[in-house]
Amino acid sequence: MPENHRLEYKQQLNESLEKEVIAFLNYLGGGIIFIGLDNNGQVIGIENSDRIQLQIKDRIKNNIAPSCLGLFDVIEETVEGKSVIKIIIASGQERPYYLKKYGMSEKGAFIRKGSAAEPMTSKMIEELFAKRIRNSIGKIKSPRQDLKFEQLRIYYDSVSKTLNSQFQKTLELINDDGKLNYVAYLLADNNNTSVKVARYSGEDRVDLIQTEEYGFCSLIKATKQVLDKIEVENKTFTKITSKERIEKKQWNTVALREAVINAMVHNDYTYELAPKFEFFSDRFEVTSYGGLPQGLSKEEFFHGISIPRSKELMRVFRDMELVEQLGSGIPRILISYGKECFHFSENYIRMSFPISLEEKSTVGETVGETVGETARRIIDRIKENPFVTREELSKQLNVTVRGVEYNLSKLKKMGILVREGSTKSGKWNVITKK
């Protein structure tokens, strides 16, 4: 492809790097810079890729203001057998960005126009500065200043990264007046952020049969707990035909993972609400608060144009290797699910992933259908005590009585449970199929 408003080619690293990066930071939706390609897109390649990547990261970190850590990725790719460097740049929320040595001036601030980085006029700089979003969670003071970060330290250790004594400053968990900010609050060991995973018996929110609450801990820990819970709920259906045994999940695992992480990272926490995750009889829904960033169209959203709501959270999630690269989440979801699965409003974005008709039709007809976690726990309790009541199961499993009844009914229909005797004095029998 030729160079355009979102694509820049460079044969080698030169003195104009910061200028090009700033132009994309100030351009709504950002862009990509390739190093190792000529102006026509022909592959030249580079040597000493590791050294050059370190130089790029160091120059962007130290020469551009405000801080844009979390708004760029630097990766190596092989094209036509040669190494090239790809710099992915997201549009920032704190525009205008500028060269530190020249300040917020026509000499220091640039914006992408066509295939070139052009100096911004004084009027453009003033207008962007006036629109700068200051009510971001990186600017908001944490409601508590006695925060601990042992969970975050453990997670960094798990990916072979170390948090030193200056990590609060390095990860930008401190605002301009030296106080811990709301990002720090979300990542701390203890907070009031609650993430709920709910299950309903039907296609609406009338009959809630189970709710699990995660949170009050580091957002990284809560995210991993939600991912584990959803993996359990994503049942595998097995169908045996005359030729083969076919196993298929209710939902695409990659798409669900990306949806969860996307919701956690891009949620607008200034609403003081966390994303919510809901299972229905026909679909799985993910709701994150805050609509599309100002100026970003739906089509740009679907093309993976990224405007992180919090560059600080984005950076930590990338450090944890939960985010592969900027702008990759939505395109990964669209591989398995269409645009019609997304619903946009002024205050939230909702993703709705249906169970395919094929999978619906196999329920009750398949061999080796996997029951849900709650149903398995009910079976275990009944094996221990066949006379256990619905109310006792509800208390033991921390599930509503309605949820217990729903699962008991499902297990009876599947032929796994049989009731012997009356409701009050009878017992349950677990049927083992041969």
pLDDT in tens, 166-211: 999 999 999 988 999 999 999 999 999 999 999 998 899 988 999 9
Confidence at residue 242, expressed as pLDDT on a 0 to 100 scale: 58
Report whether pLDDT(434) > 60. Answer: no
**pTM for this entry:** 0.77
Angle between helices 219-233 and 150-158 (to 10 degrees): 60
* Domain covering 194-360 assigned CATH 3.30.565.60 in the classification: yes
- CATH top-level class for 7-131? alpha beta
Mean pLDDT of the chain: 89
Residue at 70: amino acid letter: G
Q: What does the DSSP assignment read for 283-346?
A: EEEEEEES-SPTT--HHHHHTT----S-HHHHHHHHHTTSS-STT-HHHHHHHHS-GGGEEE-S
Per-domain boundaries in the chain:
7-131, 194-360, 371-430
Q: What is the mean pLDDT of residues 54-78?
A: 96
pLDDT in tens, 318-367: 999 999 888 889 999 999 999 999 999 999 999 999 986 554 444 333 32
Distance CA 393, CA 404 (A): 7
List C-alpha distances in Å: 281 to 26, 153, 248: 44, 39, 17
φ/ψ of 373, rounded to 5, equals -60, -45
Q: What is the mean pLDDT of residues 229-256?
A: 82
Locate the DSSP E strands across 2-151: 7-10, 31-35, 64-65, 72-79, 82-89, 98-99, 110-113, 116-119
Distance CA 236, CA 254 (A): 15
Distance CA 216, CA 112 (A): 42
Q: What is the mean pLDDT of residues 280-292?
A: 94
Residue 198: beta bridge partners? 211, 278
Angle between helices 373-384 and 390-397 (to 10 degrees): 120
Determine the CATH number of domain 371-430: 1.10.10.10
